[in-house]
Amino acid sequence: MIRLSELAPDVRASVQATRERVARLHAELPANGLVVWTAGNVSERVPGADLFAIKPSGVRYDELAADNMVVCTLDGEKIDDGTPAALTPSSDTAAHAYVYRHMEDVGGVVHTHSTYATAFASLHRPIPCVLTMMGDEFGGEVPVGPFAIIGDDSIGRGIVETLRDSRSPAVLMANHGPFTIGKDAQAAVKAAVMVEEVARTVAMAQLLGDPVPVAQGAIDSLYARYQNVYGQH
């Protein structure tokens, strides 16, 4: 078994920084109304190592800290990371690990059961691109992934299969809920916040009538500007 205490000093420092970021970013999930009780999780790839840090299973958000973020290999196996042996990683760890193994540009993964996005997932219905915000952030509709049962890497396979050729950083896993990816955990958390926001708006619009899709040319223009021009550089 890999022992954190035996890794090179620069790797240990990278692990610690990752654990601190992941612990801090978990607070964004309840703050944005994306989770209840102990549901949901954030993970981040450790820069410079084939490891990632993830939330421990079944631990309440107000009890999370850098020291109890679980460190795993890219096969989803917990290393000797200084936490108690009985502290197990999130039940979604296999899915996160599969994503990291098969999408090298992904540095962060988030899962929630946020209400409106999960409602679309329960219907196996993608969120149509009817908002300029969706063109910006998702580059089109938010797609639906296949139904998969937790416990092995089936969910991870569904995420990768759905998002590999998509501009969307979010997928609605059928009957389950949203998973989001990003270059790091902060980007994945942002996508989780945004997918719930657009799901809520589109659901309200559908109650009022038939939302009008954004034209594909406009979506492409919006996406290119938001990804390459918007913000500070």
DSSP per residue, 94-126: HHHHHHHHH-TT--EEEE---HHHHHHHHTT--
The mean pLDDT of the chain is 97
pLDDT in tens, 48-105: 999 999 999 999 999 999 999 999 999 999 999 999 999 999 999 999 999 999 999 9
Q: Is the pLDDT of residue 154 over 90?
A: yes
The dihedral built from the CA positions of residue 120, 126, 130 and 133, taken in this order, carries a sign that is: positive
What is the model's pTM?
0.98
Residue 232, pLDDT score:
83
User: In the chain, where does DSSP find H-type helix?
Assistant: 9-26, 28-31, 93-102, 115-122, 132-138, 154-163, 185-208, 216-228
Residue 152, pLDDT score:
87
Cα(230)–Cα(37) distance, integer angstroms = 35
Residue with tokens 């299973």: 57
Q: Which residues are catalytic?
A: 136, 230
Residue 202, pLDDT score:
98
**How much of the chain exceeds pLDDT 70, in percent?**
100
Residue 231, pLDDT score:
80
User: In 27-153, where does DSSP find H-type helix?
Assistant: 28-31, 93-102, 115-122, 132-138
